[in-house]
Amino acid sequence: MKNLTRREMMGLVAGGTAGVCMAGGCASGGGGVSFTNRVNEDFYGADGAFDEVAAKKAYYAMMASCNYPIPDRLRSEDFWTLDFGLGAFTEVGMAGIFWVNNKEHNYMGHEIFLLPGQMIPEHWHVATADAGAKLEAWHVRHGGVTLFGEGEPSPGAEKSIPPSHRAIAKARTMQVVKPGEHGILAGPEQRHFMVAGPEGAIVSEYATYHDMAGLRFTHPDVTL
């Protein structure tokens, strides 16, 4: 089966097996590159273009720091990273790999990588001609995330949402998910996003088939 590129199948959120990180704390280095205390300018060139190579090095450092296996496929183009076109990678950005995305049998396996404090922009999934509205669950392997979904606003939700989305995000129900724990999307077509904790995060996503055509973002300036 042909391996689809990020731009062919990714908005956000094709086989292999994901490694499991140690649940304890991680060092800040790996391969001579730090993934902590990075500033936004570290990930952009002099022309303002997003530097994917620099971004991937930071993620590899995070993986190495917690003994996450880095097979050859994670060194290939199947491993992608993006800043969602917002120019604020340390706040809004991610990396990932689709281990499998099976349209025929309606399932997928996806690994999400987030540096400390990074957010995946608020989004939702609608039904398409090829698939129903995507349903997801997230299993934290390392670090931790705060999941945001629709429902009754949680205390402190406003200040926990990164500045770029504070005025427009609809999802205000928070769930803190630690290593070994999981969270589940409450229902189809519900808006959601996640924000990594201070150690960053490695998250396994279990889901129905991902059809990029069904992906919608709340922020009007998001691009892929």
pLDDT, tens only, 104-158: 999 999 999 999 999 999 999 999 999 999 999 999 999 999 999 999 999 999 9
Question: Residue 6 above 70 pLDDT?
Answer: no
Helix (H) or strand (E) holding 207: strand 192-207
Q: Which range is least confidently modeled, 14-18, 140-144, 214-218?
A: 14-18
For residues 38 and 43, what is the distance between their CA atoms, to the nearest angstrom?
Answer: 9
Instruction: Give the DSSP per-residue string, 164-185.
Output: GGTTT----EEEEE-TT-EEE-
In percent, the amount of the chain with pLDDT more than 90 equals 83
Q: Where are the alpha helices (DSSP H) in the chain?
A: 6-9, 52-65, 157-160
Q: Identify the CA nearest to 112 among candidates 160, 76, 63.
A: 63
pLDDT for 24: 43
Within 8 A by CB and 6+ apart from 183, the residues are 137, 138, 147, 175, 177
Mean pLDDT for the stretch of residues 83-95: 98
**Sequence ranges of the domains in the chain:** 11-26+80-217
Note the pLDDT of residue 11. 41
Q: Which class is domain 11-26+80-217?
A: mainly beta
| pLDDT higher than threshold 50 for residue 53 | yes
Q: Which comes out higher in pLDDT, residue 157 or 35?
A: 157
DSSP, collapsed to helix, strand or coil, labels residue 64 as helix
Provide the pLDDT for residue 33: 64
93 in Cβ contact with 36 (< 8 Å): no
Mean pLDDT, range 92-97, rounded to an integer:
98
Per residue in 72-81, pLDDT tens? 999 999 999 9
Mean pLDDT of the chain: 89
Query: What confidence score (pLDDT) does residue 36 get?
Result: 85
How far, in Å, CA of 33 to CA of 61, rounded? 6
**What pLDDT is attached to residue 35?**
87
pLDDT at res. 160: 94
pLDDT of residue 30: 42
CA gap 65, 56 in Å, rounded: 14
Section 62-67 average pLDDT: 94
At residue 26, does pLDDT exceed 90?
A: no
Extract the tokens encoding 166.
């504070």
The neighbouring-strand residues paired with 23 are none
Residue 8 has pLDDT above 80, yes or no: no
Higher confidence at residue 19 or residue 161? 161
DSSP letter at 163?
G
